[in-house]
Amino acid sequence: MRIGILTGGGDVPGLNPSIKAVVERVADGGHSVVGIRRGWAGLLNANLADPASMEEHFVDLTPASVRTVDRTGGTFLHTSRTNPARVSREDFPAFLGDPPEGDGPFDATDHVLRVLEAKQIDVLIPIGGDDTLSYGLRMHEEGVPVIAIPKTMDNDVHGTDYCIGFSTAVTRGVEFIHNLRTSTGSHERIAIVELFGRYSGET
């Protein structure tokens, strides 16, 4: 079995450790992992007729190649906020020809499915938040087996208790506010702090 893994949306410190854990566990089961660079954009922009393009957007992952990736934050596979079901005219790959009539957005899912078939990817593991995982749902609806790993500082992915990135958002936010109180108190002022987290009420 060949498993594809990608990261989408914002970066958080837990992404590289997550990728490493997946690669090691999959290897233990006798299967292989291919990393998809730049999230869903990697599948969208992979030109099947151009070997250099395919090499640019995919990388085979082994326990040896990911041995030290958990020592740094972010994602070594890189990330994007691309959603192949909603591609703007400006972002529509030129090698696919002219996009359909209209202003868009355009759905390039058929191309994504062709790329997955060409790379012989049997299972997809997207790591991301609402938008990244919403396209993971689209892949599931198209018949692609998907195992989603929730990642968002908002901690608001439906059906989950904890998302990668939430703990860091809270601890860094608390640290920042504690430090800010020192300066605010020294100058006898009131500070207003706005945190990320949308409307989840978690952060």
Q: Which of 60, 122, 154, 156 is catalytic?
A: 154
Is 122 labeled as catalytic in the residue annotation? no
Dihedral of CA atoms 44, 49, 51, 52 in degrees, nearest 10, equals -60
> What are the extents of the domains in the chain?
2-150
At 115, list the tokens. Answer: 């790329």
pTM: 0.88
Strands 32-36, 123-128: pairing is: unpaired
pLDDT for 195: 83
How large is the average pLDDT for residues 174-179? 92
At 172, list the tokens. Answer: 């860094």
Contacts of 69 (CB under 8 A, 6+ apart): 16, 17, 19, 20, 76
CATH topology for 2-150?
A: Rossmann fold (3.40.50)
Cβ atoms of 116 and 163 within 8 Å: the answer is no
Q: Is residue 98 very low, low, confident or very high in pLDDT (cuts 50, 70, 90)?
A: confident
**Residue 186 burial (C-beta neighbours within 10 Å; 0-12, 13-18, 19+):** exposed
Least Cα distance to 144 among 174, 176, 112 occurs for: 112
